[in-house]
Amino acid sequence: MNIGIDQISFYTPYYYLNLAVLAERNGIDPAKYYNGIGQEKIAVPAHDEDIVTMGVNAAAPLLQEHGSSDIDTLLFATESGIDQSKAAAVYAHHLLGLGQNCRCVELKQACYSATAALQLACAYVARKPEKKVLLIASDIARYDLDTAAEATQGAGAVAMLISARPNIAVIAPHSGLYSADIMDFWRPNYRSTPLVDGKYSTVMYLQALEHAWQDYQAQGGRAYQDFSAYCYHLPFSKMGIKAHARLARLNGADPRREDTQDGMQYNRLIGNSYTAALYISLVSLLDYREDLANKHVALFSYGSGCVGEFFALTVCPQYHRHRYRDRHRAMLANRVALDYPAYRRYREVPDGRTGDFFPDKDTPHGCRLEGIKQQQRIYRPA
Ligand code: COA
């Protein structure tokens, strides 16, 4: 059975900070950000956006086009959840107008959980081929101000429909897996920003890649030369370049720029989006490349802590006709740049602890957070 991604689209906030602004404020050469970590801009959510609104805005075009009558499962992957108990999926289910005969759940394992959700969705659809699973991955990456990691912030969401008759890509059954209990990045319940040992996390990312690749080979996966492109989890885009150099070296090959560059175009302009980052890279690849019909694409998913998975997909012949490329490009082109004081204003995130809160209508289109009243979040659908 050819199970895979039937549709995929992404969303990123209306505002961004050009990293040249941060470089000037920090007295740093902007080339460090542009070339050293490979980021140009970072998305900055306004006070009326959160993981739910971003996820709903990513999913809305899919449901507008295809309806929702065959969706009976909504999986929501995130590591910047808004509630320790109630799943973001339940809010999204209501805001998207899905039918009540639907299961909704939130999944967590740092940046990895969207891949777990994808594999679970494929297994479920194998059992119920007449059904579709809506998978949303949505995250806001915020680090402490004035730290090295601040330049690798960002925000975004991706939505996918998983089905037994996919239009975008068939997910291959082989996976290479790796898990290890390490402390490279974590966020205790009492913190709004993570603790991160950035340099250690890049070392562990590469180690997880190596082990997952070896397991992928042991499980009967494809050879390195079989792939027309590679998508990596991108906490910052230079990480993908380092990862591909490592994988190429392991296979006695030279890393080709064209293997990875189109999969990084969007992420360079958005920053880290944790669970969504790998799949925004996939959207970027599909939107930029015209030659991928029937080609194999490799993906490496990494979540600190850590879990890594190496897997592959085969792009469907008619994928061009099912892209949301124009919509994605218009969304990025219409964003608004922030100056440093405005960025700092949006960094202070009211969370309802100190009383009711009704943000300005900063986000002009789509679903938005209308307010927090008596500790309950109130959303306005698109
Ligand atoms: N021009 C071009 N490149 C420059 C430069 C300049 N003027 N100045 C520095 N650089 C390069 C460095 O050589 C280095 O490149 P390399 O990694 O290829 O050696 C790169 O910029 C980063 O600079 P460096 O000073 O080594 O690191 P940093 O202290 O700025 O930290 C991170 C970088 C990525 C570790 C930090 O941003 C971070 O912790 N981010 C979060 C990491 C994360 O998300 N981890 C989760 C993993 S999934």
Q: What is the pLDDT of residue 291?
A: 97
- Catalytic member of 79, 106, 150, 309: 79
Query: Contact 92/55 with Cβ under 8 angstroms?
Result: yes
The residue whose CA has the least distance to atom 12 of ligand 1 is 36
Which residues share a beta bridge with 170? Answer: 4, 314
Query: Of the residues 26, 28, 37, which should be mutated to test ligand 1's pocket, given the most ligand atoms within 8 Å of the CB?
Result: 37
Active site residue 233: yes
- Digit-by-digit pLDDT tens for the chain (382 residues) are 899 999 999 999 999 999 999 999 999 999 999 999 999 999 999 999 999 999 999 999 999 999 999 999 999 999 999 999 999 999 999 999 999 999 999 999 999 999 999 999 999 999 999 999 999 999 999 999 999 999 999 999 999 999 999 999 999 999 999 999 999 999 999 999 999 999 999 999 999 999 999 999 999 999 999 999 999 999 999 999 999 999 999 999 999 999 999 999 999 999 999 999 999 999 999 999 999 999 999 999 999 999 999 999 999 999 999 999 999 999 999 999 999 999 999 999 888 888 999 999 999 999 999 999 999 999 999 8
Helices 51-66 and 88-95, interaxial angle, to 10°? 40
Q: State the pLDDT at residue 352.
A: 82
Please give the number of the atom of ligand 1 that sits closest to the Cα of 242. Answer: 18
Instruction: Please give the Cα distance from 290 to 281 (Å, whole number).
Output: 15
111 catalytic residue (yes or no)? yes
Question: Ligand 1 atom closest to Cα of 302?
Answer: 48
Contact 195, 145 (CB under 8 A): no
Identify the residues whose C-beta falls under 6 Å from ligand 1.
Answer: 29, 31-32, 35-37, 111, 148-149, 151-152, 185, 196, 198-199, 201, 205, 235-236, 272, 302, 304
Query: Which atom of ligand 1 is found nearest the CA of 303?
Result: 48
User: Relative to the CA of 29, which ligand 1 atom is closest?
Assistant: 7
> Which of 140, 152, 278, 302 should be mutated for ligand 1, with most atoms under 8 A from CB?
152
Cα 227 to ligand 1 centroid, rounded to whole Å: 28
Residue from 104, 106, 111, 122 carrying the catalytic annotation: 111
Nearest CA to ligand 1 atom 15: 36
Nearest CA to ligand 1 atom 43: 198
| pLDDT value at residue 354 | 86
Q: Does residue 79 have an active-site annotation?
A: yes
